[in-house]
Structure 1
Amino acid sequence: MADVVASIRVMPDSADRDLNELMDALKAAVPAGTKFQKFELKPIAFGLKAIMATVTVDDSEGGTEPVEEAWSKVPGVESVNVEATGRAF
């Protein structure tokens, strides 16, 4: 099986949310079989920033769903969306 690299946008529930704490919580919630790569902050509007995460998952059925489900349950997360995927080489 090949690996798939996914770029995932995580929106906090508030512009006042401590993003460092939220990133720590997201990293702790990475499910088994998923390799965390990095976080980047992307300004959205009015002081709100999105957390752009890069992870590597197997290309098996379900792909990024375990990550999306796990991160959606983290307190302080408003939404989780896959922005892009591609094969890892």
Structure 2
Amino acid sequence: MGSVVVSYKIFPADITVDFDELKKKIEGCLPKFASVYGFGVEPIAFGLNALIIQIKIPEDKSGVLDEVEKRLKGIDEISQVQPGMVRRISR
């Protein structure tokens, strides 16, 4: 069975948010069936950056995206979670 990779753009609550610490919190809050597939940083404006995160989830579970987004939005350092591209992978 394949997996799905979902990209999210994570907007920090403040310009001073440490992305390394935020990455650790994100990895720690994910459900057992989800894992981090990759991270990136996208400049927004005036020194503000967004964290781009790719999360790998099984394609055969229902309600997975809602659960992942709910957990991400529960992190205090995150002001907004914007879903992006969804793609299927075979590994």
Q: Same fold (TM over 0.5)?
A: yes
Alignment partner, residue 70 of structure 1:
71
* SS of aligned partner of 2:64: coil
Alignment RMSD: 1.3
Larger deviation, residues 63-72 vs 40-49: 63-72
Q: Which runs of 5+ in 1 are unaligned?
A: none
Paired residue secondary structure (1:75): coil
d(CA) in 1 for partners of 2:20, 2:74: 17
Q: Is the 8 A contact 2:33 2:58 kept in 1?
A: yes
User: Using the alignment, how far apart are the partners of 2:13 and 2:24 within structure 1?
Assistant: 16
TM-score by length of 2: 0.88
- Structure 2: runs of 5+ lacking an equivalent: none
> Taking every aligned residue pair, what percent have the same amino acid on both sides?
25
Q: What is the CA–CA distance in structure 1 between the aligned matches of 2:85 and 2:64, rounded to whole Å?
A: 12
- Asked if structure 2 preserves the Cα contact closer than 8 Å seen for 1:11 and 1:49, the reply is yes
Deviations 1:2-22 (A, max 9, x none): 311111111101112112111
Residues 1:57 and 2:68 are matched in the alignment: no
Matched, 1:20 2:20: yes
* 4+ long deviations beyond 2 Å: none
